[in-house]
Amino acid sequence: MRQNTKFTASAQLIAVACCILIGCSGSQDGTLSGPRIGMMPKLIGIGYFEATREGAEEAAAELGLELTYDGPHLDRSEDQAQQIGEWTTLGLDVIAVAPVDPEGISEALRDAQRAGVTTLTWDTDANPETSGRSVFVNQAPNEAIGYKLVDVMAEGIQAKGESLAGNYLIVSGSATASNQNTWMEYMKQRIADKYPTMKLLPHLTPNEDRQRAQEQTAEALAAHADLKGIWGITSVSLPAAAKATRDAKRADQVYVTGLSLPSEMREYVKDGTVEQFVLWNPVDLGYLTIHVAQRLHAGNLQSGSQAMGRLKNVEVRGGEVILGPPMIFNRENIDDHRF
């Protein structure tokens, strides 16, 4: 028993020491001059958001800003809302969020604004009316992405000399992701306008789970012998769809394309399962977000086409900042990008 008391006493001593240490370290002031920016991805620990972090850190170093890049480890909207609150108390000046749910963080953003924080969204927009965010840093116009996805598929199939008629499948991420839903709307619109022979099957929502996406795609491949093409429209679904198609040895009949990261698609592009796919540059997106945040805080974000840092042609219009048109990745250029 005596031993226990001794242990307790020492534990308490250590604890108190820690408190003092932390208390001291807390009182020191940051040496950086610019605004303190917090940038929050949907979740930490996936490749896409690691790439955006890289760009953000590059811009922060360039501008001499203090950057905090953190997010929930599961894509939970309430975690994001909570973290926005924490960042507000921490005294950050600008908070840039990629919301998991377009409505889920509106109130949290409002609260932050009331405390004097400038808020903006990136990657995915929050509802502009309810959230009151200043600006949305958009990787590319949704319309352009949706159209591009359909065009890439159509051109790819036509280039092989085949007809477009047949069944097509979209593997999305989760059913609540608003940007994915918007892209799908534009995709349907484009198909109806330009390629009426393409027939869409009900889309799959594997809930951003790699294993589930692969299983469900494999299932759909088995169920539809005449499947012509698959879009995987998240960085999780496209590699999963490619793997499932390759496993089913249907890569020559089924045209797979969509949105993903070059680093995750390299092997499928190289072995020919996927000929080409669409994405913007996530490093640039992170880079741009920080630049926009800094300008917003300084109050000098003007409309129109302009250069921001190393990005020469950024368009600012009506509450949106647009990175540029989406890029196409194929066998030739896939090794040029690190992300």
Window 275 to 334, contacts with another protein (CB under 8 A): none
Regarding beta strands 135-138 and 118-122, do their DSSP bridges make them parallel or antiparallel, or are they unpaired?
A: parallel
Pairing of strands 276-279, 227-232: unpaired
What residues numbered 67-96 form the site for another protein, per CB under 8 A?
68, 70, 73-74, 76-78, 81-83, 85-86, 88-91
Of residues 2 through 41, those in contact with another protein by CB under 8 A are 4-5, 8, 11-12, 15-16, 18-19, 22-23, 25-27
44 touches another protein (CB under 8 A):
yes
Beta carbon of residue 116, minimum distance to another protein (angstroms, whole number): 8
Task: Tell me the site size for another protein, rule CB under 8 A.
Answer: 87
Closest distance to another protein from the beta carbon of 260 (Å) = 11
In the list 40, 50, 60, 229, the residue contacting another protein (rule: CB under 8 A) is 50
Q: Tokens representing 263?
A: 């680093």
The residue (of 270 and 317) whose beta carbon lies closer to another protein is: 270
Alpha-carbon distance of 5 to 176, in angstroms, equals: 54
Q: Between residue 118 and residue 177, which ones bind another protein under the rule CB under 8 A?
A: 127, 130, 174-176
- Listed residue (80, 179, 95, 79) closest to 138, CA to CA: 179
Beta strands per DSSP E along the chain: 36-40, 66-69, 94-97, 118-122, 135-138, 166-171, 198-200, 227-232, 255-258, 276-279, 304-308, 311-317, 320-322, 327-330
Out of 170, 204, 292, 301, point to the residue binding another protein (CB under 8 A).
Answer: 204
Q: How far is the CB of 25 from another protein (least distance, A)?
A: 6
Indicate the SS3 state at residue 294.
Answer: helix
User: Which is nearer to another protein, 236 or 293 (by Cβ)?
Assistant: 236
Q: Which of 318, 292, 296, 315 is nearest to 305 (CA)?
A: 315
Closer Cβ to another protein, 65 or 221, answer by number: 221
Q: Of the two residues 22 and 298, which places its CB atom closer to another protein in the complex?
A: 22
> 208 CB contacts (<8 Å, ≥6 apart)?
75, 173, 174, 234, 236
Q: Please list every residue from 211 through 250 that binds another protein, using CB under 8 A.
A: 211-212, 214-216, 218-225, 236, 239-240, 243, 247-249
CB of 38 to another protein, least distance (A): 9
DSSP 8-state code for residue 31: -
Residue 196 neighbours by CB distance under 10 Å: 10
Please pick, from the candidates 101, 125, 275, 284, the single residue that binds another protein as defined by CB under 8 A: 101
Structure tokens at 266: 């390299």
Tell me the three state secondary structure of residue 50: helix
Q: Considering only residues 96, 108, 241, 334, which one is a binding residue for another protein as defined by CB under 8 A?
A: 108
Question: What stretches of 155-269 adopt beta strand conformation (E)?
Answer: 166-171, 198-200, 227-232, 255-258
Minimum Å gap between C-beta 335 and another protein is 12
User: Of 43-51, 186-194, 283-291, 321-329, which part binds another protein (CB under 8 A)?
Assistant: 43-51
**Largest Cα–Cα separation, the chain:** 86
